[in-house]
Structure 1
Amino acid sequence: MRSGLASVAEHTVAAVVYDVPAYAEVFTGGTGRTIERAVELALAGFLELTAGTGGADAGTPLGPALDGAYALGRGEARSGRSMDALLAAYRVGARIAWRELSAIAAPVDLTAGEMARFAELLFAYIDRLSALSVAGHADELATTGRVRQHYLERLANGLLTGAKPDELVAAAERATWEPPRSLTAVIVPEARARGALVRLDPRTLQAVEDDPDGRMTVLLVPDADGRSRPSLTGALLGVDAVIGPARPWTGVRSSYLRARRAVRLGLRSPGDAPLDTEQRLADLVLRSDVEALDDLRAQVLAPLDDLRPGPRAKLVETLRSWLLHHGRREEIAADLFVHPQTVRYRMGQLREIYGSRLEDPTTVLELTIALGASPAG
C-alpha cells in the first residue's frame, strides 16, 4: 500500500477536481502537485495508524497529517470559502481512497472481517481529518472576526477623538468598513447598547466610555439624517438614548460632543422617547456655561433683591411670561392663571423698578436669556 500511495493520491485529487468544481482552478498546476503530496502524506498517516505506529503527537507520521487538516480549514476561511466544498472533497477522497487501497489489499486474501475493519478505520480517519478542518475554519473565522472588531473599535475611537480625515479613511479601509455619507452619535447606557444595536444599521460603530453615572456606549449610526431621523428616534424608544446631530462621517466628533454635553447637563425627554438634541438647541445654548447663566440671572434680577421672597417670585414669574408672550396681557394672564388687571398691576411695579430699561433691547435680551432657561428666580 505504501508503494502505491503516490498513484492513489493522484487519482484522489483528479476525482476531487472532477466532482467538486470549486477546486477545479485551485488544484491546477504546481498547486495541484502540492495538494497531491499533502494527500499522500495524509494517506501515509492513515497507514501508520492502521499499523499501530501512529499517534496524535506532531513527531509521528500521523501528526503532520492532522496539523495539515487543521491548516487546510484555516486556509479555506482565509480564501472566503465555506466548509461545504472541503467536506465534499473529503467525501470524494474517502471513496476514491477506499476503492484504490482495497484494490491493493484484495490480492493478499484479507478476510471479510479484516476488510471491514480496514474500511472502518479509513472512514473514521477521514472523519477525524474533517473535524480538524472544521475546527481550523471556525478558529480562523473567530480570529478574523476579533481582528476586524479591533480595527472597528480603533476606527470608532479615532472618529470620537477627531483624528485627521486621511487617517480615518485608512482606518476604515483596514476595518473593511464602507464609509457612509453621515454619522450620528448616540449615547446609551452600556447595559442597553446590545438592545439598541439590533435595531440599527449593521454598519453602526461603537465605543465605550466611563461616566460618573456608569459606563456609557457611544453608537455611531450611519445615514440617520433627514427623513431617516424619525426612524432612528423610533428605534431608540425605551433605551434612555441621547442623540446628537448628523454630521459628515469624518466630522462626527462634533455630534458626539453635543450628545455628551446634553448628558452632562442632565437633559431628558418625557416618557420612553430618546433625547433628540436637535429639539433642544436652545437649552444647550443657554446651559453651555451654567455659572455664566447664574451670574447673568443674578445680575439682571438684582433690582428685585430688596423685595420679600413671595412678591419677588410673583414679579419674576410675571416678567418671564411678559417676555415670552411679547407683552400681550390676555395671554400673560392665561399663562399665569390670574386676572388681566393683576398682570397690569404687576407690570406697573416692574416698570417702576426697572424704569426705561424694559424698553432697552440689550436689557430685554439679557432678561430673556436669564429667564428663558428656567421659570425660577
Structure 2
Amino acid sequence: MTTPPVRPTTQIQTVVDLDPRVARALRSELAEVADRAVLTIIDEVPSYAGALSGRMGEVIRNAVQLALGGFLTLATRPDSSAPKAPAIEGAYQLGRGEARSGRTVEALLAAYRVGARVAWRDMGDAAVGAGIEPGQLARFAELVFAYIDELSAASVAGHTDELESSGRVRQRNLDRLARALLSGAPADAVNAAAERADWEPRDALTAVVLPESQVSHALTALDPRTLQPTDEVPGLPEGHASLLVPTAASATARRTMLRALRGTDAVVGPTVPWLEAAGSHRRTLRCVALGLEGLVDSDEHLAALVLGADAEARADLRARVLAPLADLRPSTAEKLTDTLRSWLLHHGRRDAVAEELFVHAQTVRYRVGQLREIYGDRLEDPAFVLDATLALA
C-alpha cells in the first residue's frame, strides 16, 4: 500500500480579528495585489520568465489568489481556528507542479520571498489607509509572515514529494545525459540520453565551474534546464561544481548569462553547439587553472589560455629565445630581457618602451643597440619575432 505524502501541519496562533472596515478595504484590493505579486515574481526571479503564458501561469495566479483569500479569512476571525486547508493544499500542489516544470526549490522559495514582500507592502498600505490600529497592524504583520512561512513549507513539501515520487528517475536520466555530454559521447548516444531525460536542447550549451556554495544562487538565476552533474567530474577542483547552461548562440544571450552570474566566482567557458559541450568544459577547467578571481569570462583570456596550454613547451621556447643572453651578468640579462619584451610588444616605439620600463629614452636606445649586437638580423626575422613574443608575453 502506498503511503500518502505528508502535509505540513498548521501552526499559526496569531489572532488579528481585523475591523470589518479594514477587511473590506483589503478584500477590494485582493485581485490587484495578487496580480502585482505575480508580475513582480516574474520580473525578479529569472526562472519564472514567461510563466504567465500557458496553463502554469493560471496555476500560479490561482494559487496566489487562493493564498491571499485564505489569509484574509484567517485575519478576520476572532480566533486562530479558521480553516486553512484549501490554501495549504493549493500551496502543496503548486510545489508539485513546479517540480514537474523543472524549476528548483530555490527558485520557488525566491518567488515566495518576493511575493511576501509585495503582499505585505500593498496590504499594509491598504490597511493603514483604512485606519487600522497600531497594535492590530503589528499582529497583522506577524500573521502575514507566519502565513507565508506555512505556505512556503507546504510548497517545499509538495516539491520534495514530487521529486521523490517521479523525479528520481528523471534525475538519474539527467545525470546520464550530463555524463554523456562531458565525456564527448557520440551524437546518437547523447540524443538518446536527452530523449530519455525528457530534456529538450537549446542551440548551445555553456560550461560553468563555480564553488559548490554558490550553486543554489546560480541555479535560481539560470535557465531551469541547466544540467548539474552529480557524479564526480574528472579534473574538477575540490569544493567546486560543474554546470551546463542552455543558451542561445548569440552575444546577447551570453551577456545575459554573465549578468545572471554576477556576485559569484564562476568561470564561464565558451558557448558551443550543445553536442560539443565537452570542449567548453575542457576550456573552462583550463581557465580555472589560471587562478583568476571573481566572475571570469574565458573568452576574455584566450591569449593566456593559448600560452598556458603547454607550459613545458613554452619554457623550452623561452630558454631558446634567451640563449644568446646566457653568458651575460644576471642583472644585465634581466634588463635586456625586459627591454626585448617591451620592444616587441610596443613594435619598437622607443618612448612607449621607456615609459613602461621607467627609464630614459636614451637608455632604451642603448639597450636596443646591445640587443642588435647580440641577436643581429634575427630581430627582423618574423619567425624569431613570433617565437620571442610568445616566449616573453
Q: Which amino acid in the other structure matches residue 287 of structure 1?
A: G
Q: Which amino acid in the other structure matches residue 325 of structure 1?
A: H
Q: 2:272 aligns with which of 213, 232, 247?
A: 247
Counterpart of 2:184?
162
Contact preservation (8 Å) 2:227, 2:243? yes
Partner SS, residue 205 of structure 1: coil
State TM-score, norm by structure 2.
0.57
Higher relative contact order (CA 8 A, sep 6+): 2
Closer, same or farther in 2 for the Cα pair 1:138/1:294, shift >3 Å?
A: closer
Which runs of structure 2 are paired with 1:5-84 in the superposition (5 Å)? none
Q: 1:189 aligns with which of 211, 224, 246?
A: 211
Q: Which amino acid in the other structure matches residue 199 of structure 2?
A: W
Q: Structure 1, unaligned stretches of length 5 or more?
A: 1-72, 81-134, 373-377
Closer, same or farther in 2 for the Cα pair 1:309/1:151, shift >3 Å?
A: same
Which runs of structure 2 are paired with 1:278-289 in the superposition (5 Å)? 278-289=299-310
1:337 is aligned to 2:358: yes
Counterpart of 2:288?
263
Q: 1:298 aligns with which of 297, 316, 319?
A: 319
Closer, same or farther in 2 for the Cα pair 1:165/1:345, shift >3 Å?
A: same
Contact preservation (8 Å) 2:181, 2:278? yes
Following superposition, the deviation at residue 143 of structure 1 comes to 2.2
Deviations 1:296-335 (A, max 9, x none): 1011101111122222111111111100010011111112
Q: Structure 2, unaligned stretches of length 5 or more?
A: 1-92, 101-156
Closer, same or farther in 2 for the Cα pair 1:340/1:157, shift >3 Å?
A: same
Q: Which amino acid in the other structure matches residue 188 of structure 1?
A: L
Q: Which has more radius of gyration?
A: 1
Q: Which amino acid in the other structure matches residue 185 of structure 2?
A: A
Q: Which amino acid in the other structure matches residue 166 of structure 2?
A: T
Partner SS, residue 337 of structure 2: helix
1:172 is aligned to 2:194: yes
Counterpart of 2:345?
324
Give me the identity figure in percent: 54
Q: Which amino acid in the other structure matches residue 173 of structure 1?
A: E
Following superposition, the deviation at residue 234 of structure 1 comes to 2.1
Partner SS, residue 272 of structure 2: strand
Following superposition, the deviation at residue 340 of structure 1 comes to 0.8
Partner SS, residue 170 of structure 2: helix
1:223 is aligned to 2:244: no
Following superposition, the deviation at residue 250 of structure 1 comes to 1.0
Name the CA distance, whole Å, in 2 between partners of 1:254 and 1:299. 32
Deviations 1:161-182 (A, max 9, x none): 0111122112111111111010
Instruction: Give the length in aligned residue pairs.
Output: 238
Name the CA distance, whole Å, in 2 between partners of 1:370 and 1:229. 32
Contact preservation (8 Å) 1:267, 1:275? no
Q: Which amino acid in the other structure matches residue 218 of structure 1?
A: S
Closer, same or farther in 2 for the Cα pair 1:136/1:229, shift >3 Å?
A: closer
Closer, same or farther in 2 for the Cα pair 1:256/1:325, shift >3 Å?
A: same
Deviations 1:328-358 (A, max 9, x none): 1111111212111111011011111111111
Counterpart of 1:202?
224
Contact preservation (8 Å) 1:210, 1:216? no
Name the CA distance, whole Å, in 1 between partners of 2:213 and 2:185. 28
1:232 is aligned to 2:254: no
Following superposition, the deviation at residue 239 of structure 1 comes to 2.2
Closer, same or farther in 2 for the Cα pair 1:234/1:149, shift >3 Å?
A: same
Deviations 1:267-308 (A, max 9, x none): 415xx3x21111111111111000000011011101111122
Contact preservation (8 Å) 1:187, 1:241? yes
Name the CA distance, whole Å, in 2 between partners of 1:166 and 1:212. 26
Name the CA distance, whole Å, in 2 between partners of 1:360 and 1:136. 71
